[in-house]
Amino acid sequence: MASQYNYSHSGQQEYGSGGPYSNGDSAFIQPGQAWPQRQKKRTSKWIKIGIPALVLIIAAAVVVAVVVTRKKSTSSSSSSASDSSSNQIAAGRFATATNSEFMMPIYPSSTNTAAFGSPTFASNAALAWPSDPFAPTAPNVLTLRPDRPLLIAPAYKWQALPNLIANDPYMNGWNATIFMNASSYYDLPPVVYHMDGDSGILDNAREVKMRIKAFSYVYRMTNDTKWVDRAWAELQNAAGNGSTPFGPDVDRWNSAHFLDVAEFSAAFGIAYDWLYDIWTPDQKSKIVSTLIEYGLGPGVQAYTNTSIYTGWWRTNTTGNWNCVCNSGLTMGSLAILNDDTTGTAKQLLGLTVDNAKSNCAMAVSDDGTWAETANYWYFGTTGHAEMASSLLTATGSHYGLLDTNTNFQKTGDFHMYITGPTSLFNYGDHGPNKFSTTANSMIFYAEQYSQPDYALFQRDQRDAAEPWSMFWYDASIAGAFWNGKALDHFFDNGLDQWASMRSSWTDNDALYVAMKAGMNQGHQTHNDLDVGDFVLDALGTRWAGDLGSADYLSPNYFSNDTQTSDRWKYYRKMTEGQNTIVVDQANQNVAAAPTVKHDSSGTTQGASTVLNVPSDSTAFWTTDMTSAYFNAPSMKRGVRLLNSRKQVLIQDEINSGGTVQWRMHTNATVTTSGTTASLALDGQTMEVSILNAPAGAQFSTSDAVRFNTDVVPPVPDQPNPGVTVLMISLPAGQYNLQVLFNPQWQDGTKFVTPPSVPLDNWSLTSHS
């Protein structure tokens, strides 16, 4: 079943259009007191090439709905640069940097630490949710609460919203954005059916779901029936009853690519449930019949009909497919359960919950890593959180979906640590367009797992503004996610094995380096052959980056993860397309099973957004990645922070039977001179130098294209415009190679030249 992993996608440049949430505008602006803004107007070379139209300005989108007056900080021992001239602290949202790929929040660099206490719930009881008047005492998946909505947003929460929106700056801003988004969708024609090859109609389904959520939300907040009419037009169109054709009438929602069915089922479920009181009996029966015919019926078939393969994701699929499919079917089923005379919804609820527990919930490794990729985490956790939340509100229990995997709660840390100052450590495939897929599962998990830092982190993110947040967010929360958060974290499950190290959680210019080992198989065929791959951020830009997905529609892109798979013939998936060591110009072994070692000074950030990193603060991570190579008796790689986290050392200990190449992909303009390379990007500079290498080792560069000796892929690679490969080409043999990265900080940093210490001897003090 060659298409089983084909997760939709046509616009392969989506991460090349500034990231999933970057429509280039600067969000809403409300009057109020803004934090001091840093003007960052640098333009990456890549952005200039990829999206010349993007307006690179800082969003001055600071909502300051609440201005809390506090006494001047009296703490003189604080290491922060506290703004003692101000006795007014604006409790508001932070602006986002539109020139970072994920539009990262810009935290103030001058601050009173009193505003940033430890993460805590119930700090402001007046903003807590009221208790649920219908909280079921005997949860049963087939016994529903008596009032509607059933899904995610129960009536008592809607009643509390006006007060919360008036008093909480986040909810205030999110509400405004949802209204604005709903208005822009209102003026568009209903989503036009577009079959995108093997990727199906997933984009269509997600877009319909996104719109339905916004229309339904705004109707309930205004009672203006124009939103109901608009939602109805969208539903009718997706049912094939609009003015444009919508798929074959036997299978409009494309069960061959079941994610599409699931997302449409969720959309119809939400519309039915949230607008239940306003639909006419005729509309209700039409929604139910369409949902059963094209959604839940095919769902039962996927589960029970052994002669079809549409339900392949039910078995051994610890990944986003299982979460999204079960979630959509569950939401649709809960929405119509009491009105469904066919028994379809009831039958499905008996299937989806247990299945998601043994598959979806297991997609998180025991270290918290999402087994697919950092980007697929969004799809998987959105499905998981929507399903668990819907079950909780509709029936009173999540039936174990949240705790059958006792390590699931760590996945919020996975997301935080894999988010660097400019964007994700985005190894492997990036996935299709996200539409209503967000990181807002963080806000749900915060409450479910009593991890307030998850919500405090996510609430400042660009994608927080959508309807789920309005019901998942607990506005009684306070504090700063960074307060007490360790700068480093190591993820040790053998499947993943990766390290995250940084110099600050709140400085967009911070140094961040993340490197991975892990296995090259077992990631739902979304990974690359990339043991040893790394990304490096500093000075507000990404110096070493990943290329991301290749074209999902390319032949055999998802065929399998065996050594000879065509997938590994595409440059962006090959070892040479990664930031690691290549031996014999060949791919790594798919059966790699590296080992890792690491240590950290354990440095945590305090309340202040300004962290003065102690001189003994460091971290290192090493991997024996010999098993990833066919012609190398030994191959070890290590990465460590030097000099109060101002410099990075990458060290390779090589014993290779074949030629060796050290490779790193960068958007920078590179100038090489023997053992040094100067990288220029976004008005900043990174100096890179080779230390302790075999005689004659020097930097060179090339375009990010395949070796001309490579096997030809089924279709040509996509170009990688603006990307340069920084390389060191070396002969077979046994030697060490050290590469030192010195970001050119503007603060008078004096660089150190590290001693040469074997990786096995690395310790926290080995380079002091």
Residues near ligand NAG (CB under 6 A): 15, 23, 25, 27-28, 44, 46, 101, 162, 165, 175-177, 179-181, 184, 221-223, 235-236, 239, 241, 286-287, 289-290, 301, 305, 307-308, 315-316, 542, 545-546, 556, 559-560, 562, 565-566, 665-667, 723, 757-758, 761
Q: How far is the CB of 541 from ligand NAG (least distance, A)?
A: 9
- What are the φ and ψ backbone dihedral angles of 516, each rounded to 5 degrees? -125, 155
Q: How far is the CB of 141 from ligand NAG (least distance, A)?
A: 24
Beta carbon nearer to ligand NAG, 410 or 663: 663
Beta carbon nearer to ligand NAG, 121 or 186: 186
Contact 687, 671 (CB under 8 A): no
Structure-block tokens of residue 489:
């974290």
R_g (Cα) of the chain, nearest Å: 26
Q: Is 392 helix (H, G, I), strand (E, B) or coil?
A: helix
Q: How far is the CB of 181 from ligand NAG (least distance, A)?
A: 4
Beta carbon nearer to ligand NAG, 134 or 179: 179
Sheet order of strands, 733-743 included: 595-600, 619-624, 634-642, 647-656, 733-743, 684-691, 676-681, 669-673
Beta carbon nearer to ligand NAG, 25 or 147: 25
Nearest-5° angle of CA 338, CA 341, CA 346? 60
Q: Is 686 helix (H, G, I), strand (E, B) or coil?
A: strand
Beta carbon nearer to ligand NAG, 123 or 560: 560
Q: How far is the CB of 464 from ligand NAG (least distance, A)?
A: 11
Distance, CA of 295 to CA of 516 (rounded, Å): 39
Distance, CA of 677 to CA of 663 (rounded, Å): 13
- The string of DSSP letters for 260-273 reads HHHHHHHHHHHHHH
Closest by CA to 525, choosing from 570, 485, 472, 474, is 570
Beta carbon nearer to ligand NAG, 57 or 757: 757
Amino acid (one-letter) located at 202: L
Q: Position of tokens 């991997």?
A: 623
Residue 451 CB: number of other CB atoms within 10 A? 20
Beta carbon nearer to ligand NAG, 162 or 248: 162
Distance, CA of 672 to CA of 680 (rounded, Å): 11
Beta carbon nearer to ligand NAG, 103 or 455: 103
Q: Position of tokens 């798979």?
A: 565
671 strand-pairing partners:
678
Structure-block tokens of residue 697:
């080792």
Beta carbon nearer to ligand NAG, 249 or 450: 249
631-636 contacts: CB < 8 A, separation 24 or more?
631/583, 631/584, 631/586, 631/656, 631/657, 631/658, 632/583, 632/656, 632/657, 632/658, 633/657, 634/734, 635/581, 635/583, 636/759
Contact 431, 376 (CB under 8 A): yes
Q: Is 324 helix (H, G, I), strand (E, B) or coil?
A: helix
Nearest-5° angle of CA 96, CA 99, CA 104? 35
Distance, CA of 139 to CA of 535 (rounded, Å): 46
699 strand-pairing partners:
728
Beta carbon nearer to ligand NAG, 260 or 453: 260
597 strand-pairing partners:
622
Beta carbon nearer to ligand NAG, 236 or 327: 236
Beta carbon nearer to ligand NAG, 2 or 142: 2
Q: How far is the CB of 747 from ligand NAG (least distance, A)?
A: 24
Beta carbon nearer to ligand NAG, 33 or 316: 316
- What are the φ and ψ backbone dihedral angles of 669, each rounded to 5 degrees? -85, 125
Q: How far is the CB of 483 from ligand NAG (least distance, A)?
A: 28
Q: Point out the residue whose Cβ comes nearest to ligand NAG.
A: 545
Q: State in Å, rounded, how far the first CA of the chain is from the last one.
A: 55
Q: How far is the CB of 570 from ligand NAG (least distance, A)?
A: 10
Q: How far is the CB of 698 from ligand NAG (least distance, A)?
A: 21
Q: How far is the CB of 534 from ligand NAG (least distance, A)?
A: 11
Distance, CA of 433 to CA of 13 (rounded, Å): 10
Structure-block tokens of residue 508:
């967009």
Beta carbon nearer to ligand NAG, 50 or 657: 50
Q: How far is the CB of 180 from ligand NAG (least distance, A)?
A: 5
